[in-house]
Structure 1
Amino acid sequence: MVVVSSSTVAEECFTKNDIILADRPKLIVWKHFHYNYTTVTASPYGDHWRNLRRIGATHIFSSSRLNAFTSVRKDEIRRLLLKLSRDSRQGNFTKVELKPLLRDLALNNIVRMVAGKRYFGDEVTNEAEAREFKELIAEIFKSGGVANPVDFFPILNWFGRGFEMKVKELAKRIDEFLQRLIDEHRSQGKTSNSMIDHLLSLQESEPHYYTDEIIKGFILVIS
């Protein structure tokens, strides 16, 4: 955060140095989780970031792509309502904890749109894969939300790299999991309307723009 009290300095911040001040900090977590600052949320402003923004706006977040997943959202809501209905069968009122149910609803919507799979709640086809995904997501939130002094005082790197080594190891596990997802979809061909299948089909015609690393970056950012 930058606080200025002078109108002259404020004008300079929003004109000459606008891009510099609006750019993203190079945090250790982002370096390893976001493929050396190459994902859309961690990449500095420039040609690469503009290309990622174009891909996201055209092929992931456009109205047509989001409308294509209407059936997924309807199905997940139907599953939730059926579960609530079963819990209150025979007219008996039952106390329900909505927070985990709504969390599962949101995450299943995301994962089904991204990979065409369900990892939460009932009817999970691959329990081991779902469990690994949940563990990785929990560790990402845990590590990603930690403020590390080295990000603000780089000289501290001389006194130990324990935090960075931990983040680097987790990033390796995440990358291996995402690569398995991509390889699985690639080997099966386009069997669904998922984001991975869609980007892999674009990869065939423009491999330079739609590399595996870019696809993994979008999976990580959206998930």
Structure 2
Amino acid sequence: MGLFTSLFWLPFLLVPLLLLFKKKTDQSNKKHNKLPPSPPKLPIIGNLHQLGELSHSSLSQLARKYGPVMLLHLGRMPVVVVSSADAAKEVLKVNDLACCSRPKLAGIGRLTYDHLDVAFSPYSECWRELRKICVLEIFSMKRVKSFRFIREEEIWSLMNSISRSSTDLVNVTEKVFVVIGSIIFRTSFGKCFYGSEFDHAKFDELVHDVAIVAGSFSYEEFFPGFGWIIDRISGHNGRVERVFQELDTFFQQAIDDHLKPGRAKHEEDIIDVMLGIENEQIRELGDHAWLTKNHIKAVLMDMFLGGIDTSSLTVIWAMTELVRNPTLMKKAQDEVRGIVGKKGRVEQTDLDQLHYNKLIIKETLRLHPPAPLLITREAISHFRINNYDICPGTLIQINAWAIGRDSNYWKNPEEFSPERFIGNNIDFKGQDFELLPFGGGRRVCPGLYMGTVTVELLLANLLYCFDWCLTDGMKETYMNIEEQGGQCVTVNKKTPLLLMPVKYLDDQAS
């Protein structure tokens, strides 16, 4: 009986000793490590109370006080926030390998079949191989060019739809999301929205739900041990599972359709490409083949999240800024109409000549990066930023929005001025750390070229085909340019962009 009693009380005696040991170890580590400055934190929740609805803006304000490398504690999670180009270079170039992993978060882990995708997967050999497939086979310049006819057909269809519209006012926000969604839908699944069982309204709703799950943490991740109770009560777990089941059903049906014997293949899409790679691996590697249907579904999920919102928001913000600046709008329209002439539409082959169009997109991505906080990284080994120690397991958040508005790098940073890029080579491909809408280093977005070609072509056609006016009585200076936050990875314009189109050519091509 005495032995049983001793064993019963042993855990209760050990816990305080372990906590004391942990406290002393943490204090010892702090003595040896020079940690970044940190705002005062509250017990249990840490700095969570200091994040507003627009997290990128809240973090930017805190960085002005505590510096461009700042340590926050979000519940149990230590997060280093980087808000300057110099510090971002330390992360994305100098110490890229030390912090190129991703945290294993429950929500996005479920949507990506336990992190089998490219965007959110932790760093591993499997991730390297999958990224190589995406870069060489899915998002290569050759593959992107092969989808040219899809982009042109969908965009020209939108232009004709606007021309035939019986209403004076067009919801540009809605139209842009629909056409980008249609392009991604055909590119990925090989069929159109129209006439399918999965119409664009349902598709848009699912994409929005995916973005919410991808951009959210669970309470259990902030507060391990008891956060799961809040997750269950709040409905977080149920929402994650519902979105996953809808996605999985849709992806499985699309894959099954592609595997049907005798399927008529009008155009090779991304599912065709990945199924072909899977079959090739099975032939060459047999039981050692590693690419599975779940990898294919996880990559399709990345297409949902990274391909629609980011491209759509870039076009919407570009149009918003041009309408607010009529002189810049006219300059852009004069360029595209002078080069395209009376053809009636802009073709992809025209894009290389549209230099001002490219400057507009650069400036839009600087001022309105669609994902203002880059996807969170996780340190896998010790390194230093600006002489501060970053320990393994620390999350790293790069505030691309703050960097793009930093007066140390940009003159009049709040002003929309495409001309600022004339005569310099700053680009958004991940090598210039003042401009990081797509990230950099090993984790730079592999679909960058596909996205920018779509944005350039859509914006050029909108500018070529129509003159755009505000509703009667509205002044450009009164346009609402507020951002809408929330849990999504991306940040939307708070109110829809409503404009009146006036056709440029009466005999516009159809």
TM-score between both structures, scaled by the size of structure 1: 0.81
* Correspondence list, 1:176-195, <5 A: 176-187=249-260, 188-189=262-263, 191=265, 192-195=267-270
Find the counterpart in structure 2 of residue 155 from structure 1.
225
* Correspondence list, 1:33-112, <5 A: 33-87=111-165, 94-112=168-186
**How far apart in 1 are the matches of 2:206 and 2:226?**
28
**Cα gap change, 1:30 to 1:85, in 2 (>3 Å):** same
**How far apart in 1 are the matches of 2:228 and 2:162?**
55
C-alpha contact 1:39 1:217 (8 A) present in aligned 2? yes
Residue in structure 1 matching 2:195, options 106, 125, 148:
125
Asked if 1:217 is matched to 2:298, the reply is yes
Deviation, structure 1 residue 218: 1.0
Deviations 1:10-29 (A, max 9, x none): xx989998545332111111
* SS across alignment from 1:201: helix
Deviation, structure 1 residue 133: 3.2
Deviation, structure 1 residue 98: 1.1
**How far apart in 2 are the matches of 1:125 and 1:111?**
13
Find the counterpart in structure 2 of residue 9 from structure 1.
none
Say which is worse superposed, 200-209 or 66-75, in terms of deviation.
Answer: 200-209
Deviations 1:49-89 (A, max 9, x none): 1011111001111000000000011101110111111126x
**How far apart in 2 are the matches of 1:164 and 1:154?**
15
Select the structure of larger CA radius of gyration: 2
Unaligned segments of structure 2, at least 5 residues: 1-78, 83-89, 283-288, 305-510
Say which is worse superposed, 210-219 or 152-161, in terms of deviation.
Answer: 152-161
Unaligned segments of structure 1, at least 5 residues: 5-11
**Cα gap change, 1:116 to 1:14, in 2 (>3 Å):** closer
Find the counterpart in structure 2 of residue 7 from structure 1.
none
Find the counterpart in structure 2 of residue 172 from structure 1.
245
How many residues were matched structurally?
Answer: 207
**Cα gap change, 1:198 to 1:15, in 2 (>3 Å):** closer
Deviation, structure 1 residue 195: 0.8
Q: CA RMSD in A?
A: 2.7
Deviations 1:126-158 (A, max 9, x none): 2x3225434322321233333432222222245
Deviations 1:160-192 (A, max 9, x none): 552224312321221121011000111154602
**How far apart in 2 are the matches of 1:134 and 1:79?**
19
Say which is worse superposed, 25-34 or 185-194, in terms of deviation.
Answer: 185-194
Could you tell me which amino acid in structure 1 is paired with residue 258 of structure 2? Answer: H
C-alpha contact 2:221 2:227 (8 A) present in aligned 1? no
**How far apart in 1 are the matches of 2:246 and 2:127?**
25
**How far apart in 2 are the matches of 1:39 and 1:190?**
28
Say which is worse superposed, 182-191 or 30-39, in terms of deviation.
Answer: 182-191
C-alpha contact 1:40 1:52 (8 A) present in aligned 2? yes
**How far apart in 2 are the matches of 1:27 and 1:39?**
13
**How far apart in 2 are the matches of 1:13 and 1:60?**
27
**How far apart in 1 are the matches of 2:81 and 2:206?**
37
More strand by share: 2
**How far apart in 1 are the matches of 2:217 and 2:104?**
13
Could you tell me which amino acid in structure 2 is paired with residue 220 of structure 1? Answer: M
* SS across alignment from 2:103: coil
Find the counterpart in structure 2 of residue 8 from structure 1.
none
* SS across alignment from 1:206: helix
C-alpha contact 2:218 2:231 (8 A) present in aligned 1? no
**How far apart in 2 are the matches of 1:17 and 1:100?**
41
C-alpha contact 1:190 1:197 (8 A) present in aligned 2? no
The percent identity for this pair of structures is 28
**How far apart in 2 are the matches of 1:171 and 1:55?**
24
